[in-house]
Amino acid sequence: MTIAAMLAIPGVETFVSRPEGLGTSLRISIARPSSDATGKPPGASSVIYVTDADYCFGTVVEAARMGHYAGEVAPAIVIGIGYAEETGDYAFVGRRRGLDFYGGPRRSLEMPGFGTLELGGGETFLKALIETVVPEVERRLPETAGVRRTLFGVSAGGHFAAFALMHRPDVFGGYAMMSPALVDFPPVPGEQQMVDAVRALPVGAIPSGTAVFLSAGAREEEPGEALAAASIISNAYRMRAALAAHGVSTELTVFAGETHTSVLGAAVSRALRFLVPSQGAPSWQTSLSGES
């Protein structure tokens, strides 16, 4: 047995998906839920699709399993969407996520400390997710067909979650937009910024029962923070107001003392409790939570 095999998360299977027109192959990971503390075999009340799986699949899986074991989270199957070419140093995913998570034409952005990033192509990634990845998952796991789908994304992945909500609100019933970069870098000529575009959606465009979790670290807009110019906290509040105008149930939490990077674990746990509550827990109730 190799060291890599010993360190793998138990009960996870993977396959490679090759969506037409995407230009890269995706590594799809599947984690079934744990039993609860009584040992009762789990069903699946939700299927969670996680972008940036190369960053945070393990975090979501372990939080979902422990949350269910403790009775705080309903059993959920977690699907990680990563890249087959990523080797663990984030070199590939760091270049690729701008192309897949931001819509519009191809464009370049200079990011201090990160070099030149290429953005644009989110429409193709969304199509690959809906027309290739979801059907492949449901063929392998027939029990997931018809089960409520939830989309998790962090930072640029949070932007993509909002992008998916805006363009295909019929596909997912819940969204976790964690530290979402809800702006386009640079702005796409002739197109509205994300929050304004969501606000401008026609009445009834977002299905009844849709729920959205938003979060940020309290330090994300402090001077010197890498993404301070993205106004992540301010735009999260604006997005919540835009969604509320459409009748969407939301929770927004700002975590004291946390940065854009350090907030991930707390955000995932809170998102699970809101979007995938255990039986008998309040489900998709509009609330606002701020921590300082």
- Alpha carbon distance 214, 152 (integer Å): 10
List phi, psi (to 5°) of 27.
-95, 115
pTM: 0.90
The answer as to whether 272 is a domain residue is yes
In a domain, 4, yes or no: no
Q: Does 144 reside within a domain?
A: yes
- Nearby residues of 224 by Cβ (< 8 Å), 6 or more positions away: none
Q: Does 29 map to a domain? A: yes
Strands (E), the chain: 12-17, 26-31, 46-50, 76-83, 107-111, 115-119, 149-154, 174-178, 211-217, 249-255, 287-290
Instruction: Give domain status of residue 249, yes or no.
Output: yes
When mean pLDDT is compared over 1-15, 101-115, 200-214, the highest value belongs to: 200-214
Burial class of residue 112, CB neighbours in 10 A (0-12, 13-18, 19+): exposed
Task: Enumerate residues 6+ apart whose C-beta is below 8 A from 278.
Answer: 67, 68, 71, 72, 73, 74
Phi, psi at residue 232, to the nearest 5°? -65, -45
Considering the domain boundaries, does residue 275 fall inside one?
A: yes
CB neighbourhood size of 86 (10 A): 18
Q: Residue 52: which CATH number?
A: 3.40.50.1820
In a domain, 115, yes or no: yes
Domain count, the chain: 1
pLDDT band at 113 (very low <50, low <70, confident <90, very high): low
The model's pLDDT over 121-179, given as tens digits with 9 standing for 90+, comes to 899 999 999 999 999 999 999 989 889 999 999 999 999 999 999 999 999 999 999 99
Domain that holds residue 112: 12-290
With respect to residue 3, please indicate whether it lies within any of the assigned structural domains: no
Q: Distance between CA atoms of 220 and 232, rounded to whole angstroms? A: 7
Percent of the chain past pLDDT 70, that is, above it, reads 86
User: Using CA atoms, how far apart are residues 249 and 212, in angstroms rounded to an integer?
Assistant: 6
